[in-house]
Structure 1
Amino acid sequence: MTVLSVNVNKIATLRNSRGADFPNVVKVARDLEKMGAQGITIHPRPDERHIRYQDARDLKEIVAKELNIEGNPIQKFIDLVLECKPAQVTLVPDAVDAITSNAGWDTIKNKNFLTEVISEFKSYGIRTSIFVDPVMEMVEGAKAVGTDRVELYTEDYAKGYAQGNKDVIKPYIDVALLANDLQLGINAGHDLSLENIEFFKDSIPELLEVSIGHALIAESLYFGFDSVIQQYLKKLA
């Protein structure tokens, strides 16, 4: 079964909008795990506009399954990850002012930098994943920098699928087969939803984990967290 990791950034956004501590990110994460979520993902940004660095420290104490911390590996982020020692760190090349993630790493251009950062995280026993576009050369570059996994950036898939173009899955299948040959684990995330997740999961060989936040939180406004978590788990089985 593909692991469902729930990104709780949007819970933090809602909390921050009122300047208090409701909804409480830690309580929501704990409840999501009780409902069946197999992991919790957070993506703190330097301005802490949603998830705060302290949230990472608090979540590390209570997440019972898997904590995945995503972000651009600036020094502040690296220090946070080494302090919290989550099960997984996912490296994303976000610009400081990015609203959301919008591209994968150029693993060739950034080979030396990524190799150094990944080596440091792995020396602490932290599983590493790097965000990549569905491009063969970028997956080959990911292998060269020593990462454990790649996270496939799925925005193009989601857009194409919504327009009825199922052929958009082809480059993802191609890079997944390559990743399997290279013994790289495969994660995926960005704009995955109840509408498109099952086709993606059924198409991608050895898909280990998906990280879903925005769509899952929005769907839960209509159906409730418990119902939505169960629907995802059924589609990912």
Structure 2
Amino acid sequence: LLVNVDHVAALRNARKTAYPDPVFAAQICQQAGADGITVHLRRDRGHLRDRDVQRLKACLDIALHLEITAHDEMLRMAVAARPAMITLVPQRRAERQADGGLDVRGLDVRGLDVRGLDVRGQCVVLANAIAMARKQGIKTSLFISPDKRAIELCAQLGAAQIELHTGAYCEDPSLLQLQRLRNAAEHAHRLGLTVAAGHRLTRQNVVAVAAIRHIDELNIGHAVITDAVMMGLQRSVKAFRNAIDCGVRERTLRAVS
């Protein structure tokens, strides 16, 4: 289990405060048994900031996975942070497949040359990014839909891992969608890729995905944070009620004296 703490950073940034601290949240996840922390460093720094990534790397004893787009600036930052894994993800709508994964099917990998690839539409040059990370000893994962051709392209591009986009299954938890994930994981394993999965996973639908052979890692963020809010809301309200009551009692004592 790798927990994504982006939503903690988004909550912090919404009020331009120093809290809640995503690094402290990551430490709580570590203490609770998470195997790693995943964060998405956006080009616009909409969630995590560079300093957050540096602090996470310094304080965690578990794996840090960094999601970025394959732009030079982001790659330099990611390589300098030296995470356990870099996952290349889409940021613009044009870089996504219909169900959300990075659209690698538009790449022509015949006669692969890591100096550049023919690209359809807005697809980024992934081979250079993978090669740059590999040169620094950092493994690379590609966030894709459970598509056989896409998996084969990832293997040809030199990725160490794929992360299967589970959105379609979560929207339609049918045997058909579950079998797509099973087939994709099996195909990736045969090609020598390790397999992760994530997106829209909850405590209810994650059980079937975790049972799939060859899926070694699950990335979950939104559901973990929403569960934390709902599970901890009563405790938080009671704590504030007690704090306010203390203030009211103090005011009453001052008035009497």
TM-score range, shorter chain: 0.7 to 0.9
Matches for 1:81-230 after TM superposition, within 5 Å: 81-95=78-92, 102-107=100-105, 109=107, 111=109, 112=117, 113-161=125-173, 165-202=174-211, 204-224=212-232
Q: 1:213 to 1:155 in 2, by over 3 A?
A: same
State the AA in 2 paired with 1:139.
Answer: I
Q: Which runs of 5+ in 1 are unaligned?
A: 226-237
Q: Quote the Cα distance in structure 1 between the aligned partners of 2:94 and 2:183.
A: 32
Q: Which amino acid aligns with 1:89?
A: I
Q: Secondary structure at the match of 1:130?
A: strand
What code does the residue aligned with 1:105 have? D
Task: Give the conservation status (yes or no) of the 8 Å contact 2:197–2:219.
Answer: yes
Q: Distance in 2 between matches of 1:136 and 1:171?
A: 9
Q: Residue in 1 aligned with 2:14?
A: 17
Q: Which runs of 5+ in 2 are unaligned?
A: 110-116, 118-124, 234-257
- In the TM superposition, what is the alpha-carbon distance from 1:114 to its structure 2 partner? 1.7
SS at match of 2:172: helix
> Could you list the runs of 4 or more consecutive aligned residues of structure 1 that deviate by over 4 angstroms after TM superposition?
none
Q: Please, which of 27, 41, 46 is the counterpart of residue 44 of structure 1?
A: 41
Structure 1 residues 39 and 193: alpha-carbon distance in aligned structure 2, compared to 1, 3 A threshold: same
Matched residue of 1:147: which SS? coil
Count matched residues.
216
Based on CA coordinates, which of the two structures has the bigger radius of gyration?
Answer: 2
Note the alpha carbon deviations across 1:120-175, whole angstroms, 9 max, x for none.
Answer: 101111111101111100001011001000000110010001xxx23211111111
Distance in 1 (CA, whole Å) between partners of 2:14 and 2:25 is 16
Bigger relative CO (Cα 8 Å, ≥ 6 apart): 1
TM-score, normalization by structure 1: 0.86
